[in-house]
Structure formats: C-alpha cells, structure tokens
Chains A and B, each alone.
Chain A
C-alpha cells in the first residue's frame, strides 16, 4: 500500500466498534490502488489486522469484486442479469470480445481493458447496463461502447 492508503488503513482499523469489520474496507483500498489484490498485499493486510494471510484469503475469495489477477486500466463489466439479457446484453459482450480480441474475463495485451460479464448490478430499468470501473453506464449500445473504447485508447496513446 502507498503511504496515503496506509494512513487510511490505520484510520479504518479504529472506525468500527470491532476491528474485524475493517478487513473488507482494507481490501477495497488494495483493490483500488492495484486493480487487484497482489499476494504481497495479503500479507500487509494480515499484519495490519493481526490475522493470518490464509484468513485474509478465505474472506477475499468470497467476494467477486476482489480480483486475484491484474485487471486492465478499464474494467468493463457487462450486466448479464435477466432484464439486461432480454435487452441485448449478450450482443454487447460479444461486441467487446470481438472488438478487443479477448475472451471472458480477459485483459487486452496492452493492459487497457478487461471484460467481465457480471450478475445483476441493480440498473434493471436502464437495461442493458454496463459498469466501467464501477461507474454506471445505463442503456448501453454497441456504438456507445465503441466510442468509449476509441476515446480511452486515444487518451492513453496521447499520454493522458
């Protein structure tokens, strides 16, 4: 963890009536900083919490928003809940796989994009819905996805 997150972590250890509650927030700090939970950070979190790394693993593997492998700069999650599927979610996923040349849960070789199909994200009235780095993108179309991909790739090329 970087210094800023370490300071936040110390505050989190005392935020709740019992320290055990701090574990999931600490893992969020790591996921946010690295885009996944690196092995070395499991030890850091375990030391902060005073538990074993195995215990930290047992908790983090329960939750789908914690990744064990690095994810792309943009984590694109296509909702495949029934309401989204009835409105063409599968076409959006297929479009992304074709466009980016990756499979399910795959990351592009330049490390820019990861595509996941995820369970219902509570945007059913705006189906089909997508979230990118957990920001909501309601009523998505292939055209909107294409312009997002183009814009993101351009930004990275220009060094932004």
Chain B
C-alpha cells in the first residue's frame, strides 16, 4: 500500500503556501462548514467520532482531551505545539513551512470547537523562517475574514498569536511549553492539575500538536465517521512518518495507520538501505523509543502493533541505522542529547543522564570496565518512571532496548578496548 495523502494532498501544488491557491484547492471549506453550518459541539462530536489521536507522541485521543475542558465560563485557550524537537522528527516543520494555511484552518476550526477566542502557535526558536511564513499567512487569512473578531461573519472571535521559543527540547512537553509561553523557564509542571483545568495563565487550555490540529481539516471535510474508516479501529486515519538516517530516500511520508508495515515504509516507499548495505536497526517513533531489529520489520505501523513489538509509534520519527552504525556510539549520541536537554528539575534525570553519558563515553573510547553494562542497566531502571515528566523515560528508551538487543556489541566495546567500528558513529 503506497502513501495515502490527506494532509499532504496538495503539498506539491505550486504556490499552495499562498491563500489564493490554497482556496482554489478547497482550502478553508472545512472552516466555513464548521463555523457557518455546525455548532461547536457538533464539531467536537465529529472529532470524537474520527478517533483522532494526538500526533505529537503520546497518542492521546484528541476529542477526549477537548471534552475535559470544564464548562465553568472561564476563558479558554487553544495552544498549538510547534516545538518539534524530537530527534528524527521533521514533519511539523514541513506543514508550517509549506502548507501554513492548513495549520491555520485547523487551529481556527479547533478553537471554534472548544470555545477559545485566543489561540497560540508556539514554535521552536529555530523556526524563525516558519514564524515569518505563518505571520504572512495569518495576515492573508485575517484579510479574508478567516481569522479575527468576526470569523466569516459568524460573530465568533478567533485570534492567533505566534510565539517563538528559544532552544529547549523540554518545551515540547505540554506543561513546560505553557511555562515558556508565559515567559518563564521551561520546567514541567506537576500534574494534576492538567492543562484542561489549569493551563495557560491558569485557565482551561488544550495543547495539541501541529499535525493533530491539521488533521481536523480533513476530518471536518469528510466527516468523523469516514475518517475513522481509515487505518485500524484503534489507530484511525493517516500519520506522517519522517524517515531519516541511513536510507536511500529520506523524507516525510503520509500513510494510513496499520495498513503499511515498517518493511514497506523502509523499502517500497523510502527506497531501502544505501547501496551495498543492510539495515541493522530502526528507532521508529523519535529518539525516545526502543529499537526494532529487522526480524520485526513486518510490524504494521500503528500504535498497538508497535507497542506489541516492544516499541512505540511516538512522533513517527523513523531513524534508520545500517550495518555501518555503532549501536553504542548511537546511544551515546542520544544520551548526550538528553543530558543536554534535561531541565535539571528531577534528580534521577539530571544526574542519571550525566552518569549514563560518562559510562557510554568510557565504553566508546576504550576505557570500559567489567560491570559497566550492569551499571548502565541499573541506572536505566533508576530513571524509569521516577521523573516528573516523560523526558527521563525518553532518555533511556533506546539505550535500555539496545542493551538487550545488542548486548554483544556493548560487551565487545569492553573486551576489545573501544569501538570496533571506528571513532565515529558510522
């Protein structure tokens, strides 16, 4: 089964980043339908019926998340998470830069559904150009009445405010993002209370990923029930997968969940391994999830199947390693990342990532000692589930699985006095 494009349907149309071309290809029809023909609750019901799950990584049902907002008359906010920082993930970037109006339409439609007058799009600091792209697109949408005090003459106000982060992976975690959006350090908050009851400025808030909000557009267009027919019963719809690393045709590919196996994605869609090489392992859901080895490549790409195979769908960031890649060096690289990005609030994550880093560095540079592998496993189990936010668990995802799946390779770094594959990762 090839790609199935809903979000990316018109991405290759020249000029689709401009509002005229976007409209010519059916753009803003979903917003029109929602705001002029449907009540906010009817829009929510369609999203519920679609079985859409959050595309940022956690996979929480979107309609349910929206329904948690208390009906107490307080100001509500919609926040779009465009902090895309999970290594291996570059799908939101492509939506923002190439089809900005799809995101804006999704944001306004969703804000209407949840009764939010103010929506915020939080972009990672590196997306400075994306900020300018969205700024221009929002101005176009405002001029056409899709954004502003009186959306399409409905009497409903939806304003979009852009916000640029400044370099911090942790701000992809929704409560850290809210702290950052309030102008503070991006430390995650204690939950509960969840953002639905006390989010931005302590008001009821929904935080959704860029891809999630963009998916609301085809859902309203085709109807939730039709969308739910795509994919599998529990993993409905389409999902963007970012394929990168050692692969012939890296790229963002949109496929129906559960209808394509990892093997089909890697070989049929992404072109297979580079000439003269074989695949060794894949991290299928962004750098925070466990490895899959080629014997599991027939796993269908959906939330449940990947979980059953011992990993996670996560953000859909598929990092591919071929036979040149050193697993120890790769997990060291990832651990350096998590050590750097740990906010420092929780001891197991702050200290644990530093210690893991030291031991991995020791192995890679030929100074590994007997007992180091036990130390690594012990450190992993002392971080697992012991931190405030998911960063701790994320930090050990690849390493803990690597220690099991490639135990011999870690062992060899001790017995052979360093990396048998040379000084760098490949």
Contacts and interface: CB of A to CB of B under 8 A. Distances in A.
Nearest to A62: B185
Contact of A23 (B124, B183, B251, B319): B183
B402 to A, nearest CB: 12
A59 interface: yes
Contacts of B182: 18, 20-21
Contacts of B85: 119-120, 122
Given A64-B168, A125-B251, A82 B129 contact: no
Interface stretch (B87-95, B142-150, B215-223, B256-264): B87-95
Interface string B219-257: 000000000000000000000001111100011100000
A84 B232 CA distance: 33
Interface string A117-157: 01111111111000100111000000000000000000000
B205 to A, nearest CB: 12
B245 A127 contact: yes
Interface string B97-136: 0000000000000000000001000001111110000000
A21 B183 CA distance: 4
A82 B333 contact: yes
Interface string B150-181: 00000000000101111111000000000011
A2 to B, nearest CB: 19
Contacts of A16: 161
A62 B319 contact: no
Contacts of A62: 168, 185-186, 343
B424 A82 contact: no
Interface in A1-36: 15-18, 20-25, 27-28
Nearest to A32: B128
A126 B87 CA distance: 13
A86 interface: yes
B30 interface: no
B88 A82 contact: yes
Nearest to A22: B183
B244 A127 contact: yes
A23 B325 CA distance: 43
Given A85-B333, A86-B425, A120 B87 contact: yes
B317 A80 contact: no
A123 to B, nearest CB: 6
Contact of A63 (B166, B250, B252): B166
B184 interface: yes
Q: Which of B75, B325, B333 gathers most chain A CB within 10 Å?
A: B333
Interface string A70-105: 000000000011110111101000000000000000
A124 B181 contact: no
Given A16-B161, A20-B184, A119-B337, A86 B246 contact: yes
28 contacts: A16-B161, A18-B182, A18-B201, A22-B183, A23-B183, A23-B184, A25-B164, A28-B164, A28-B166, A64-B168, A65-B166, A66-B166, A81-B337, A82-B245, A82-B283, A82-B330, A82-B333, A83-B245, A83-B250, A85-B424, A85-B425, A86-B319, A86-B325, A122-B90, A122-B92, A122-B93, A123-B90, A124-B90
Given A65-B166, A127-B250, 19 more contacts: A20-B183, A21-B163, A24-B163, A24-B166, A24-B180, A25-B164, A28-B166, A58-B185, A62-B185, A81-B88, A82-B245, A82-B287, A83-B88, A119-B340, A122-B85, A123-B93, A125-B242, A126-B250, A131-B126
